[in-house]
Amino acid sequence: MKKIEGLIAAAFSTLNNDHSVNLDVIPALVGKFVKDGLKGVFVCGTNGEGPNLTLDERMQVAEAYVKAAKGRLLVMVHVGHTTISEARKLAVHAQTIGADAISAVAAFYFKPASTELLVDSLAEIASAAPQLPFYYYHIPAVTGVSVDMINFLHLAEPRIPTLAGIKYTAATLHEYQACLNYKEGKFDILYGYDELLLSALAVGARGAIGSTYNFAAPHYYEVMRLFHAGRLEAAQQKQLQLVEMIRAFLKFSPIPAQKEIMNLCGLNLGPCRLPLGQLSASDQVTLRESLDAIAFR
């Protein structure tokens, strides 16, 4: 798979009011992504509540996205799990249904105590789907696993033949830049903090995966267009508007708040599962008012 240029939506979970998985809304969601110019969708990750779904549910969701995408979008399936054998089952399934790539976080209960153990774990997972590109999902703020990513690439390169790159969700832009330039840019390093997209572009980012691309992708593409046109001040102002949007929903639990924004866009993705909550009626009003105050919809 060639390096990805553009934006990928880290899709939210789609649940019914009884918290069962709702597959029926996925085609409409994929249609929105295609219309917004997204390059792909990242399935069953953090925003998709992957750790909150059963193995069977995760497989159903992945199948629904592959079927709905029909080659119009890349489908990257997150297969990370606290149990490596379960992650391998998800990887095998992703390859079987025709996904375009797989990704996995570090184990987040019993954590790998070294970069070597992290690579050993990921090599086991990636080897279950030898035909699919593999991306390590680096998100230390959630997993608590923070290792030097250049050392990771050095150790993982010979151990994981399918290693395509990293989904780099951390604010350490100096390390991100170093990863981009490792071995003259051999790997695809996709940036994962939406609020720092412009900063990532400045150090060489070409592709990104994020939650707010579900509902604000055209705005981010405008940031990218302005940056590449050399209109830095205009790009800064546009990015600032997006930062203000993010600050508006970060007053609440981020995933439930963003699912409410999707509801405002006309796509009801349902509630979140415990231990995540959902916005109260008054919080929904406050969120809408906050977005209106910065003229963001």
Instruction: Point out the residues that are catalytic.
Output: 137, 167
Question: What token pair was written down for 253?
Answer: 């639990």
CA distances from 180 to 3, 118, 204, 244 (A): 11, 20, 7, 28
Q: Is the dihedral of CA 136, 118, 155, 178 positive or negative?
A: positive
CA dist 28 and 26 (Å) reads 5
Residue with tokens 């691309």: 213
Residue with tokens 């720092």: 196
How many CB atoms are located within 10 Å of the residue 44 CB? 28
CA dist 240 and 258 (Å) reads 18
CA dist 260 and 11 (Å) reads 14
102 in a labelled binding site: no
List, in sequence order, every residue forming a beta bridge with 285; answer none if it has no partner. Answer: none
Question: What token pair was written down for 104?
Answer: 């996995």
Question: Which amino acid appears at position 224 of this protein?
Answer: M
In 71-100, which positions are buried (b, 16+ CB within 10 angstroms) versus exposed (e)?
A: eebbbbbbbbbeebeebbbbbebbbebebb
Question: What token pair was written down for 156?
Answer: 């993982």
Q: What single-letter DSSP state applies at residue 192? A: -
Residue positions forming the annotated binding site for pyruvate: 209
Q: Which residues sit in the known binding site?
A: 209
